[in-house]
């Protein structure tokens, strides 16, 4: 594991903050000054300002995010954050983002490699949303959403779309662009009133009230790891097709 990732897992700082500590010469690994490319073995002795550090145990948390909470570790505007809401003893961070007014399933972890895997669109992690919209999308609008919608940052990938009730739509996406569900629906003429993510990969919210969180089971962690074993990132040329 790279030194900055090791420091982040130890709860010292974010990876960016860890880079600054390393560049300032404040970190040593087995008595030698740490470098940005230093690899930390499992039995390495790491110190910050001469004080020994220990890596934190890996942690995996599912949060049923409420509205009005931002998906960051800290917020300059002083708004409540998902990290503060969970208040876990390990330094965990959210995987991906949900808008402040979007509710539902959010994974937080300190497992950097897994978080990177899950966040990469080429691993095609299902994200299931229920959207309440103004108006009632026509069959043509549903078909357009399913085929892909042209947005300012390019065409979206095909999605699974189901009309649940008048003005109520279920969408299953693999991508994670900024405000993607809202922009897709606006592109077909329907503004989103409320958006709730009911599932993230194999993780659903059954038995988990809004605003509450729980640790994942070993089985759930194993299920999350399956995409990283089974899928490989696409090349840039493949992603352009």
Determine the average pLDDT of the residues in 41-45: 86
pLDDT at 238 over 60: no
pLDDT in tens, 170-209: 999 988 788 999 999 999 999 999 999 999 999 999 999 9
Q: Which H or E element spans position 106? A: strand 103-109
Compute the chain's Rg from CA coordinates: 20
Q: Which residue has the higher pLDDT, 56 or 28?
A: 28
Determine the average pLDDT of the residues in 53-68: 92
pLDDT in tens, 156-169: 999 999 999 999 99
When pLDDT is cut at 50, 70 and 90, the band that residue 237 belongs to is very low
d(CA 11, CA 55): 8
Can you tell me whether residue 163 is helix, strand or coil?
Answer: strand
99 tagged catalytic = yes
Domains and CATH numbers, the chain: 3-53 (3.10.290.10), 60-121+203-231 (3.30.70.580), 126-200 (3.30.70.1560)
CB-count exposure of residue 204 (10 Å: 0-12, 13-18, 19+): middle
d(CA 45, CA 124): 38
How confident is the model at residue 222, as a pLDDT? Answer: 94
Identified catalytic residue from 19, 30, 49, 99: 99
d(CA 50, CA 185): 54
Determine the average pLDDT of the residues in 9-26: 87
Angle at 182 between CA 113 and CA 77, to 5 degrees: 70
pLDDT in tens, 77-121: 999 999 999 989 888 889 989 999 999 999 999 887 888 888 876
Backbone angles phi, psi at 106, to 5 degrees: -140, 130
How confident is the model at residue 173, as a pLDDT? Answer: 93
How confident is the model at residue 227, as a pLDDT? Answer: 58
Can you tell me whether residue 219 is helix, strand or coil?
Answer: helix
> Within the chain, what is the greatest distance between any pair of CA atoms?
66
Q: What is the pTM of this model?
A: 0.79
Backbone angles phi, psi at 63, to 5 degrees: -115, 135
């Amino acid at each position: 594991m790279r030194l900055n990732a090791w420091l982040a897992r130890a709860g010292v700082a974010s990876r960016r903050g860890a880079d600054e500590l390393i560049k300032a010469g404040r970190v040593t690994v087995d008595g030698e000054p740490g470098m940005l490319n230093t690899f930390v073995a499992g039995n390495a002795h790491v110190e910050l300002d001469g004080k020994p550090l220990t890596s934190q145990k890996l942690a995996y948390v599912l949060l049923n995010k409420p509205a009005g909470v931002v998906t960051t570790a800290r917020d300059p505007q002083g708004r409540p954050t998902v990290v503060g809401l969970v208040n876990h003893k390990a330094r965990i961070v959210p995987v991906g983002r949900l808008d402040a007014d979007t509710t539902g399933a959010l994974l937080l972890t300190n497992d950097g490699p897994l978080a990177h895997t899950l966040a990469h669109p080429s691993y095609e992690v299902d994200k299931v949303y229920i959207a309440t919209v103004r108006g009632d999308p026509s069959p043509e609008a549903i078909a357009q959403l399913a085929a892909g919608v042209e947005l300012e940052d390019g065409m979206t990938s095909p999605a699974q779309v189901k009309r649940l009730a008048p003005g109520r739509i279920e969408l299953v996406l693999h991508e994670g662009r900024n405000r993607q569900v809202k922009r897709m629906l606006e592109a077909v003429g329907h503004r989103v009133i409320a958006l709730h993510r009911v599932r993230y990969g194999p993780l659903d919210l059954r038995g988990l009230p809004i605003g509450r969180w729980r640790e994942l089971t070993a089985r759930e962690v194993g299920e999350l790891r399956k995409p990283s074993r089974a899928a490989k990132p696409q090349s840039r040329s493949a992603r352009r097709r």
